Amino acid sequence: MTREETEMEAKAIAKAVRISPIKARLVIDTIRGKNVDEAITILENMNKKTSNIILKVLNSAVANAVNNNKLDRNKLFVCEARVDAGPVMKRVMFDSRSHIGHKDRRTSHIIVGVTEK
């Protein structure tokens, strides 16, 4: 039996979230591999804009695991937590001496997966 057959994994994905991937990775690195209750506590007490967004994705992944895969919520832990770069909104900003600068607005794809121990 392979790993996919023995363990059920539930995922939740938030696409094109208006936050820089570098800033989001700082937060998501703190919950990777943790118990779900511990990860929720960490995110609720963190003073970052990204923590609220990641908390919503984590709660969605837990709900998917409980409702769709019939997994026990008390045994869940975060097996996958990553942030990928999304589309970049390129904006023009006028610079000094009639030059044109760029102000790129970066977006992120946030992926959180949970499974039972």
Domains of the chain as residue ranges with CATH: 9-116 (3.90.470.10)
pLDDT value at residue 117? 84
Average pLDDT estimate for 53-78: 96
User: CA angle 109-26-113, nearest 5°?
Assistant: 50
User: CA angle 70-75-80, nearest 5°?
Assistant: 85
Question: CA 51: distance to chain centroid?
Answer: 9
Burial class from Cβ neighbours inside 10 Å (0-12, 13-18, 19+) for residue 109 reads: middle
Query: pLDDT band for position 98 (50/70/90)?
Result: confident
6 has a pLDDT exceeding 70: no
Residue holding tokens 């804009």? 49
Percent of the chain exceeding pLDDT 90 equals 89
Average pLDDT estimate for 7-14: 91
